[in-house]
């Protein structure tokens, strides 16, 4: 998270993650987490109350970490997305899922990515390999994000809005002949 309780980020499709890694090395960035498979489960009520409010409740397993996240509605300042975010590390994703099911919440979507995390100054840089391609997310104080994108050799004008799931839906709609799964998951 960029600030306590607020996520501020730019998401950019990346042609070459190795070039971004080279830029991070030049910037003396610190590797925070090596690449690991991340599995995300989005939950909602049967009537879609959370999605209808523009909010997200997510269970994430990333390496040995299990995280429950609530995200409030997103607001955009140009390519920069900002939204309330509250996270707590939990001991067991499956047990938390059982609890949430008892409260009337169900898994409505699943998505996966291979993610690695870096830190340079106050800026968090994540490199994501997904079933639809590679992306770089840059998080930190909103006023510093455009410069950080340039440091990484990325083009701010290529930033995309939306979540991975909304981008996946769009990706699928343009490739109907491929019969891609509804969830953004790697083929086994």
For 31-52, write each residue's pLDDT tens digit: 999 999 999 999 999 999 999 9
Name the pLDDT band for 2 (thresholds 50, 70, 90).
very low
Q: What is the pLDDT of residues 147-165, one digit of tens each?
A: 999 999 999 999 999 899 9
Residue 10 pLDDT exceeds 50: yes
Res 174 pLDDT > 50: yes
What's the average model confidence in pLDDT over 156-185?
94
CATH class of 6-178: mainly beta
Cβ atoms of residues 57 and 42 within 8 Å = yes
Residue pair 150/158 in contact by the 8 Å Cβ criterion: no
Report CA 166 to chain centroid distance, whole Å: 12
What's the whole-model pTM score? 0.91
Q: Give pLDDT, residue 15.
A: 82
Instruction: List b or e across 138-163, with b for residues whose CB sees 16 or more CB atoms inside 10 angstroms.
Output: bbbebebbbebbebbebebeebeeeb
Average pLDDT of the residues of the chain: 94
Please report, rounded to a whole number, the percentage of residues in the chain having pLDDT higher than 90: 90
Contacts of 83 (CB under 8 A, 6+ apart): 6, 7, 71, 72, 73, 74, 75
């Amino acid at each position: 998270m960029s600030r306590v309780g607020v996520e501020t980020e730019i998401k950019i499709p990346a042609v070459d993650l190795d070039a971004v890694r080279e830029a991070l090395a030049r910037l003396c960035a610190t590797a925070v987490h090596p690449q690991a498979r991340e599995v995300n489960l989005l939950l909602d009520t049967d009537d879609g109350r959370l999605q209808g409010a523009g909010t997200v409740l997510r269970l994430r397993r990333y390496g040995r970490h299990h995280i429950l996240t609530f995200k409030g509605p997103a607001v955009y300042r140009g390519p920069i997305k900002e939204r309330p975010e509250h996270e707590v590390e939990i001991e067991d994703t499956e047990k938390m899922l059982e609890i949430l099911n008892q409260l009337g919440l169900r898994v409505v979507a699943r998505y996966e990515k291979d993610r690695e995390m870096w830190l340079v100054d106050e800026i968090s840089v994540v490199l994501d390999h997904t079933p639809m391609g590679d992306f770089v997310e840059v998080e930190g104080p909103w006023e510093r994000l455009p410069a950080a994108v340039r440091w990484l050799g990325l083009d701010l004008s290529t930033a995309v809005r939306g979540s991975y799931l909304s981008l996946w839906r769009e990706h699928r709609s343009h490739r109907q002949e491929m019969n891609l799964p509804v969830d953004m998951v790697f083929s086994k």
